[in-house]
Structure 1
Amino acid sequence: MQTEHSYSTLPAEFYSLCAATPVAAPKWLAFNHELAAELGLDAALCETEQGLAIFSGNQQAPWSKPLAQAYSGHQFGQLSPRLGDGRALLLAEIIDKKGQRRDIQLKGAGPTPYSRRGDGRSALGPVVREYLVSEAMHALGVPSSRALAAVYTGEPVYRDQRLPGGILTRVAASHIRIGTFQYVAMLQDLPALQQLADYVLQRHYPELQQEAEPYLALLRAVCQAQAALVAHWMSVGFVHGVMNTDNMTVSGETIDYGPCAFIDSYDPHTVFSSIDHQGRYAYKNQPAITQWNLARLAEALLPLLHPDEPTAVALATEVLNEFPTLYQQQWQQRFCAKLALTPGAENAALVQQLLDLMAQQQLDFTLTFRQLSQSLTDALTPERPTTPISHDAAFLQWHHHWLAQLQLENPKPGFVALQAQMDQHNPFFIPRNHQIEQIISQVVQQDDLTLFQQFAKALQSPFVATASNAVFAQAPPAGGPHYRTFCGT
Structure 2
Amino acid sequence: MLGSTTTLVIFTLTMTFQANSENALDFCERSESCLHQQYHSLSSSNRTHFPLSLSCRKLIDALPLDEIDGNFVRTVKRCIFSKSQPTKLLGPLTLAAVSRDVLEHILDLHLSVTQSEDFVHYMSGGKLLPGSVPLAHRYGGHQFGYWAGQLGDGRAHLLGAYVNKKGERWELQLKGSGKTPYSRSGDGRAVIRSSVREFLCSEAMHFLGIPTSRALSLIVSEEPVWRDQFYNGNMKKERGAVVLRLAESWFRIGSLEILAKTGEEDLLRQLLDFIIEEHFAFIRTDDPNKYVVFFSVVVNETAHLLAQWMSVGFAHGVCNTDNFSLLSVTIDYGPFGFMESYNPNFVPNMSDDEGRYSIGAQANVGLFNLEKLFEALIPLLTSDQLHRAQQVLKHYPQIYHRRFHDLFKAKLGLLGDEKNDSYLIAFLLKLMEDTGSDFTMTFRQLSEVSVMQLQKGTIPQAMWALQDLASHVFFSDWVNLYLLRLRRQMGDSDEDRWSRMRKVNPRYILRNWMAESAIRKAEKNDFSEVELLQQILTHPFKEQDVAEKAGYANRPPPWAAQLMVSCSS
- After the TM superposition, which of the residue ranges 371-380 and 347-356 deviates more from structure 2? 371-380
Q: Does 1:318 align with 2:396?
A: no
Distance apart, 1:380 and its partner CA: 9.1
For 2:526, which of 448, 455, 463 is the aligned residue? 448
SS of the residue 1:81 aligns to: strand
User: Would you say the 8 A contact 1:33–1:46 is kept in 2?
Assistant: no
Distance apart, 1:480 and its partner CA: 4.9
Please show how residues 223-242 of structure 1 align to structure 2 within 5 Å.
223-242=299-318
Residue number in structure 2 paired with 1:19: 85
User: Would you say the 8 A contact 2:289–2:385 is kept in 1?
Assistant: no
Give the TM-score of the pair, scaled to structure 2. Answer: 0.82
Distance apart, 1:149 and its partner CA: 0.6
Please show how residues 192-207 of structure 1 align to structure 2 within 5 Å.
192-207=267-282
> Separation in 2 of the partners of 1:378 and 1:171?
47
RMSD: 1.9
* 1:45-65 C-alpha deviation (Å, 9 max, x unpaired): 424211111111111111211
Letter in 2 for 1:447: N
Please show how residues 12-411 of structure 1 align to structure 2 within 5 Å.
12=65, 13-25=79-91, 26-43=93-110, 45-160=113-228, 161-210=236-285, 211-306=287-382, 308=383, 311-341=384-414, 342-343=416-417, 345-376=419-450, 378-379=452-453, 386-387=460-461, 389=467, 390-408=470-488, 410-411=489-490
Distance apart, 1:120 and its partner CA: 0.2
Distance apart, 1:329 and its partner CA: 1.0
Gaps of 5+ in 1: none
Q: CA separation of 1:369/1:331 partners in 2, compared to 1, >3 Å: closer, same or farther?
A: same
Distance apart, 1:289 and its partner CA: 0.2
Letter in 1 for 2:59: Y
SS of the residue 1:117 aligns to: coil
> Separation in 1 of the partners of 2:388 and 2:313?
34
User: Would you say the 8 A contact 1:303–1:312 is kept in 2?
Assistant: no
Q: CA separation of 1:377/1:346 partners in 2, compared to 1, >3 Å: closer, same or farther?
A: closer
SS of the residue 2:441 aligns to: helix
Percent of aligned positions with the same letter in both sequences? 35
- After the TM superposition, which of the residue ranges 103-112 and 5-14 deviates more from structure 2? 5-14
SS of the residue 1:293 aligns to: helix
Distance apart, 1:156 and its partner CA: 1.0
SS of the residue 1:271 aligns to: coil
User: Would you say the 8 A contact 2:203–2:538 is kept in 1?
Assistant: no
User: Would you say the 8 A contact 2:97–2:530 is kept in 1?
Assistant: no
SS of the residue 1:153 aligns to: strand
Letter in 1 for 2:450: L
Residue number in structure 1 paired with 2:63: 10
User: Would you say the 8 A contact 1:208–1:214 is kept in 2?
Assistant: yes
Residue number in structure 2 paired with 1:462: 540
> Separation in 2 of the partners of 1:61 and 1:112?
19
Letter in 2 for 1:191: D
Q: CA separation of 1:344/1:328 partners in 2, compared to 1, >3 Å: closer, same or farther?
A: farther
Distance apart, 1:392 and its partner CA: 2.6
Distance apart, 1:297 and its partner CA: 0.5
> Separation in 2 of the partners of 1:383 and 1:51?
56
* 1:40-96 C-alpha deviation (Å, 9 max, x unpaired): 344474242111111111111112111000000001011111000000000011112
Residue number in structure 2 paired with 1:439: 518
For 1:429, which of 508, 515, 526 is the aligned residue? 508
Distance apart, 1:184 and its partner CA: 1.4
Distance apart, 1:469 and its partner CA: 2.2
Give the TM-score of the pair, scaled to structure 1. Answer: 0.95
> Separation in 2 of the partners of 1:47 and 1:75?
41
Letter in 2 for 1:175: W
Q: Tell me which stretches of 4 or more aligned residues in structure 1 moved more than 6 Å.
A: 380-385
Q: CA separation of 1:468/1:149 partners in 2, compared to 1, >3 Å: closer, same or farther?
A: same
User: Would you say the 8 A contact 2:219–2:242 is kept in 1?
Assistant: yes
Letter in 1 for 2:105: E
> Separation in 1 of the partners of 2:206 and 2:508?
14
SS of the residue 2:170 aligns to: strand
Distance apart, 1:466 and its partner CA: 2.0
Count of aligned pairs between the two proteins: 484
- After the TM superposition, which of the residue ranges 136-145 and 369-378 deviates more from structure 2? 369-378
Q: Which entry has the higher C-alpha Rg, 1 or 2?
A: 2
Distance apart, 1:177 and its partner CA: 0.4
SS of the residue 2:478 aligns to: helix
User: Would you say the 8 A contact 1:264–1:475 is kept in 2?
Assistant: no
- After the TM superposition, which of the residue ranges 314-323 and 12-21 deviates more from structure 2? 314-323
User: Would you say the 8 A contact 2:223–2:239 is kept in 1?
Assistant: yes
User: Would you say the 8 A contact 1:377–1:416 is kept in 2?
Assistant: no
User: Would you say the 8 A contact 2:108–2:165 is kept in 1?
Assistant: no
